[in-house]
């Protein structure tokens, strides 16, 4: 009886040690675990719906690229929201400087404006040859490149550049007071008069990771800045 009890006890501790080690390894690679789970779900979905082989290949490439982009440059908005207001402002100021500092339209913005703008931006990923801005689509977003290559208006954009500036033009026309938080926006006014009101088209030439800013979010930020200046 003693020998059987010792064997059972040893098997229990062996299983406990192995389980603990497995749990530690899995927690250290949580992003990879989520990625593999996503790919399993994708494969099951494609099999169930009998997706064509060519589309299967594109979907797998898209999710692999998205995983790689997120690993290289994560969106820490949720982490920032858990910080105290003062710590969040300091950290966000550093991140906004790296994200928006190279974009000409934001160069003369105050640190406070850049911080709030960076926290309102949303991460988006696009596949090769996927249209980001469609022809005649209302300009509602500004895009800042993180990774990849995008073609728009006869130009090629890469990391650190911005496109979709039509959104700023529309804000400029909508209210003469709103863009005061963006000093460089005034320089765009002459260019707008010579542009086509139909907007621009943008297409991803490679797998592309961008941060987008919706015009409603920017309008709210600039309105709050105006209210603060009046106080």
pLDDT one digit per residue (tens) for the chain, 231 residues: 677 777 877 887 777 777 767 666 555 566 777 888 889 999 999 999 999 999 999 899 888 877 776 655 555 666 777 888 778 777 776 766 677 766 777 777 777 777 788 878 888 889 888 999 988 888 889 899 888 999 988 889 998 888 888 777 766 665 554 445 555 555 544 444 445 445 678 999 988 988 898 988 888 887 776 554 444
Q: Note whether 130 and 186 are within 8 A (CB).
A: no
The closest alpha carbon to 170, from 154, 152, 188, belongs to 188
Q: Note whether 31 and 75 are within 8 A (CB).
A: no
Query: Can you tell me the distance from the alpha carbon of 167 to that of 186, in angstroms, rounded to the nearest whole number?
Result: 14
SS3 219: helix
Sheet strand arrangement including 208-214: 122-126, 208-214, 141-147, 162-163
Paired tokens of 138:
């209302």
Enumerate long-range contacts of 62-69, CB under 8 Å, 24 or more apart. 62/125, 62/127, 62/207, 63/35, 63/38, 63/39, 65/125, 65/127, 65/207, 66/125, 66/207, 66/209, 67/31, 67/35, 67/38, 69/125, 69/146, 69/147, 69/148, 69/207, 69/209
Q: What angle do CA 108, 162, 59 make, to 5 degrees?
A: 150
- Give pTM, 2 decimals: 0.67
How distant is the alpha carbon of residue 226 from its chain centre? 27
Paired tokens of 225:
């800045």
Q: Note whether 122 and 133 are within 8 A (CB).
A: no
pLDDT of residue 85: 78
pLDDT of residue 79: 74
């Amino acid at each position: 009886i003693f020998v059987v009890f010792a064997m059972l006890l040893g098997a229990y501790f062996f299983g406990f040690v192995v389980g603990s080690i497995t749990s530690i390894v899995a927690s250290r690679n949580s992003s990879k675990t989520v990625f593999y789970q996503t790919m399993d779900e994708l494969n099951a979905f494609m099999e169930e719906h009998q997706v064509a082989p060519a589309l299967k290949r594109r979907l797998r490439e898209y999710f692999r690229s998205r995983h790689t982009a997120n690993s290289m440059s994560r969106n820490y908005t949720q982490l920032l929201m858990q910080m105290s207001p003062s710590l969040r402002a300091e950290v966000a100021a550093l991140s906004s400087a790296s994200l928006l500092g190279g974009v000409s339209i934001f160069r003369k913005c105050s640190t406070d404006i850049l911080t709030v703008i960076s926290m309102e931006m949303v991460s988006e990923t696009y596949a090769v040859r996927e249209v980001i801005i469609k022809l005649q689509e209302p300009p509602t977003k500004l895009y800042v490149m993180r990774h990849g290559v995008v073609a728009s208006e006869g130009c090629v954009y890469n990391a650190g550049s911005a496109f979709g500036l039509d959104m700023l033009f529309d804000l400029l026309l909508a209210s003469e007071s709103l863009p005061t938080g963006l000093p460089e926006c005034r320089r765009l006014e002459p260019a707008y008069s010579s542009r086509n009101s139909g907007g621009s088209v943008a297409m991803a030439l490679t797998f592309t990771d961008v941060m987008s800013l919706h015009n409603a979010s920017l309008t709210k930020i600039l309105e709050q800045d105006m209210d603060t200046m009046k106080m």
